[in-house]
Amino acid sequence: MRALLNNFDPYKQVYNRLLSLMLTGHDTDKIEMIVLGGTRDVYPKSYKIEFIKWLYDACNHFDEFLEQVEIDFSTPKAPRYTTTEGLSIIYPATIEESITRNESANNRIIWLTIETRPEYVTHENCQLWRELGVTRMEMGIQTLYNSVHEKNKRGHDNDAIVKAMHLLRQYGFKISTHFMPGLYWS
Protein backbone atom coordinates (compact mmCIF):
# COMPACT_ATOMS: atom_id res chain seq x y z
CA MET A 1 0.00 0.00 0.00
CA ARG A 2 2.87 2.36 0.83
CA ALA A 3 4.38 1.74 -2.61
CA LEU A 4 1.10 2.57 -4.32
CA LEU A 5 0.62 5.74 -2.25
CA ASN A 6 4.11 6.87 -3.27
CA ASN A 7 3.89 5.93 -6.96
CA PHE A 8 6.43 3.15 -6.32
CA ASP A 9 9.20 5.71 -5.72
CA PRO A 10 11.73 4.10 -3.33
CA TYR A 11 12.86 7.44 -1.86
CA LYS A 12 9.31 8.50 -1.05
CA GLN A 13 8.46 5.09 0.42
CA VAL A 14 11.46 5.13 2.74
CA TYR A 15 11.04 8.80 3.67
CA ASN A 16 7.36 8.28 4.49
CA ARG A 17 7.98 5.13 6.50
CA LEU A 18 10.78 6.76 8.49
CA LEU A 19 8.58 9.81 9.01
CA SER A 20 5.68 7.71 10.32
CA LEU A 21 8.01 5.78 12.64
CA MET A 22 9.54 9.02 13.93
CA LEU A 23 6.12 10.62 14.52
CA THR A 24 4.93 7.63 16.54
CA GLY A 25 7.98 7.75 18.80
CA HIS A 26 10.05 4.93 17.31
CA ASP A 27 13.80 5.15 17.00
CA THR A 28 15.04 4.88 13.43
CA ASP A 29 18.74 4.62 14.16
CA LYS A 30 18.75 0.87 13.34
CA ILE A 31 16.52 -0.21 10.48
CA GLU A 32 15.36 -3.62 9.32
CA MET A 33 14.60 -2.95 5.65
CA ILE A 34 12.40 -5.55 3.94
CA VAL A 35 11.88 -5.23 0.19
CA LEU A 36 8.62 -7.01 -0.59
CA GLY A 37 6.90 -7.52 -3.88
CA GLY A 38 8.23 -10.56 -5.63
CA THR A 39 11.42 -11.86 -7.12
CA ARG A 40 14.00 -9.06 -7.41
CA ASP A 41 16.15 -11.17 -9.69
CA VAL A 42 13.87 -10.86 -12.70
CA TYR A 43 15.04 -7.24 -13.05
CA PRO A 44 18.21 -6.19 -14.85
CA LYS A 45 21.32 -6.05 -12.65
CA SER A 46 21.62 -2.28 -13.11
CA TYR A 47 18.10 -1.73 -11.77
CA LYS A 48 18.67 -4.06 -8.81
CA ILE A 49 21.75 -2.05 -7.85
CA GLU A 50 20.02 1.28 -8.42
CA PHE A 51 16.96 0.30 -6.37
CA ILE A 52 19.00 -0.82 -3.35
CA LYS A 53 21.14 2.33 -3.66
CA TRP A 54 17.95 4.42 -3.42
CA LEU A 55 17.09 2.70 -0.14
CA TYR A 56 20.50 3.44 1.35
CA ASP A 57 20.42 7.02 0.06
CA ALA A 58 16.97 7.68 1.52
CA CYS A 59 18.12 6.43 4.93
CA ASN A 60 21.41 8.29 4.72
CA HIS A 61 19.74 11.61 3.89
CA PHE A 62 16.52 11.41 5.91
CA ASP A 63 17.70 14.16 8.26
CA GLU A 64 18.45 16.46 5.30
CA PHE A 65 15.03 15.62 3.91
CA LEU A 66 13.35 16.66 7.18
CA GLU A 67 15.22 19.97 7.17
CA GLN A 68 14.00 20.83 3.67
CA VAL A 69 10.31 19.92 3.75
CA GLU A 70 7.30 21.47 5.35
CA ILE A 71 5.03 18.86 6.86
CA ASP A 72 1.45 19.72 7.76
CA PHE A 73 0.84 18.16 11.17
CA SER A 74 -2.62 19.74 11.55
CA THR A 75 -4.47 17.27 9.33
CA PRO A 76 -6.22 14.34 10.99
CA LYS A 77 -4.43 11.88 8.70
CA ALA A 78 -0.84 10.93 9.26
CA PRO A 79 1.42 13.36 7.38
CA ARG A 80 2.78 12.12 4.10
CA TYR A 81 5.34 13.68 1.86
CA THR A 82 4.71 12.95 -1.81
CA THR A 83 7.40 14.70 -3.81
CA THR A 84 11.15 14.73 -3.81
CA GLU A 85 11.34 17.51 -6.41
CA GLY A 86 13.07 20.68 -5.35
CA LEU A 87 15.13 19.04 -2.62
CA SER A 88 18.79 19.99 -2.61
CA ILE A 89 20.14 16.65 -1.48
CA ILE A 90 23.28 15.39 -3.17
CA TYR A 91 23.40 11.61 -3.27
CA PRO A 92 26.64 9.61 -3.74
CA ALA A 93 27.43 8.40 -7.24
CA THR A 94 27.93 4.71 -6.44
CA ILE A 95 26.31 2.01 -4.35
CA GLU A 96 29.62 1.44 -2.59
CA GLU A 97 29.67 5.07 -1.42
CA SER A 98 26.05 4.83 -0.27
CA ILE A 99 26.73 1.65 1.73
CA THR A 100 29.87 3.14 3.29
CA ARG A 101 28.02 6.32 4.24
CA ASN A 102 25.22 4.24 5.75
CA GLU A 103 27.65 2.60 8.18
CA SER A 104 27.76 5.86 10.16
CA ALA A 105 24.39 7.37 9.20
CA ASN A 106 21.75 8.33 11.75
CA ASN A 107 19.38 5.84 10.07
CA ARG A 108 21.46 2.73 9.46
CA ILE A 109 20.18 -0.31 7.60
CA ILE A 110 21.37 -3.15 9.81
CA TRP A 111 19.23 -5.86 8.20
CA LEU A 112 18.27 -5.94 4.51
CA THR A 113 15.86 -8.56 3.19
CA ILE A 114 14.83 -9.27 -0.39
CA GLU A 115 12.67 -11.98 -1.97
CA THR A 116 13.74 -14.61 -4.48
CA ARG A 117 12.88 -18.03 -5.84
CA PRO A 118 15.00 -21.20 -5.70
CA GLU A 119 15.87 -21.16 -9.39
CA TYR A 120 17.42 -17.67 -9.04
CA VAL A 121 19.82 -18.64 -6.25
CA THR A 122 23.15 -18.73 -8.06
CA HIS A 123 26.72 -17.92 -7.07
CA GLU A 124 26.53 -14.76 -9.20
CA ASN A 125 23.30 -13.57 -7.55
CA CYS A 126 24.54 -14.45 -4.05
CA GLN A 127 27.70 -12.41 -4.64
CA LEU A 128 25.66 -9.45 -5.89
CA TRP A 129 23.25 -9.64 -2.94
CA ARG A 130 26.19 -9.65 -0.53
CA GLU A 131 27.79 -6.67 -2.31
CA LEU A 132 24.48 -4.81 -1.92
CA GLY A 133 24.41 -5.51 1.81
CA VAL A 134 21.57 -8.04 1.76
CA THR A 135 21.53 -10.06 4.99
CA ARG A 136 18.38 -12.18 4.68
CA MET A 137 16.64 -13.88 1.77
CA GLU A 138 12.95 -14.67 1.68
CA MET A 139 12.44 -17.57 -0.70
CA GLY A 140 9.16 -18.69 -2.22
CA ILE A 141 9.21 -22.47 -1.84
CA GLN A 142 5.38 -22.76 -1.70
CA THR A 143 5.25 -26.57 -1.34
CA LEU A 144 7.46 -29.62 -0.85
CA TYR A 145 5.62 -31.78 -3.38
CA ASN A 146 7.19 -31.95 -6.84
CA SER A 147 3.82 -32.83 -8.40
CA VAL A 148 2.34 -29.58 -7.01
CA HIS A 149 5.35 -27.58 -8.28
CA GLU A 150 4.82 -29.08 -11.71
CA LYS A 151 1.03 -28.55 -11.83
CA ASN A 152 1.44 -24.92 -10.73
CA LYS A 153 4.33 -24.31 -13.16
CA ARG A 154 6.58 -23.06 -10.37
CA GLY A 155 9.74 -23.39 -12.46
CA HIS A 156 11.63 -25.42 -9.86
CA ASP A 157 11.48 -28.69 -7.95
CA ASN A 158 12.63 -29.90 -4.55
CA ASP A 159 16.19 -30.47 -5.78
CA ALA A 160 16.40 -26.77 -6.68
CA ILE A 161 15.13 -25.88 -3.19
CA VAL A 162 17.79 -28.04 -1.53
CA LYS A 163 20.54 -26.55 -3.72
CA ALA A 164 19.30 -22.99 -3.10
CA MET A 165 19.13 -23.47 0.67
CA HIS A 166 22.65 -24.91 0.70
CA LEU A 167 24.05 -22.05 -1.39
CA LEU A 168 22.32 -19.38 0.71
CA ARG A 169 23.78 -20.92 3.86
CA GLN A 170 27.25 -21.03 2.25
CA TYR A 171 27.01 -17.28 1.68
CA GLY A 172 25.85 -16.69 5.27
CA PHE A 173 22.35 -15.42 4.56
CA LYS A 174 19.55 -15.68 7.06
CA ILE A 175 16.70 -17.47 5.31
CA SER A 176 12.94 -17.30 5.61
CA THR A 177 10.67 -19.31 3.37
CA HIS A 178 7.17 -18.89 2.03
CA PHE A 179 4.70 -21.75 1.80
CA MET A 180 1.25 -21.72 0.19
CA PRO A 181 -1.26 -24.13 1.72
CA GLY A 182 -4.07 -25.11 -0.62
CA LEU A 183 -2.21 -24.76 -3.90
CA TYR A 184 -3.79 -26.37 -6.93
CA TRP A 185 -3.29 -30.15 -6.83
CA SER A 186 -2.14 -30.23 -3.20
- What is this structure's pTM? 0.87
Identity of residue 141: I
Identity of residue 129: W
pLDDT per residue of the chain (186 residues) written in tens, 0 to 9: 778 888 888 888 998 899 889 888 899 999 999 998 778 888 999 999 999 999 999 999 998 888 787 776 666 565 666 566 677 888 899 999 999 999 999 999 999 999 999 999 999 999 999 999 999 999 989 999 999 999 998 889 999 999 999 999 999 999 999 999 998 998
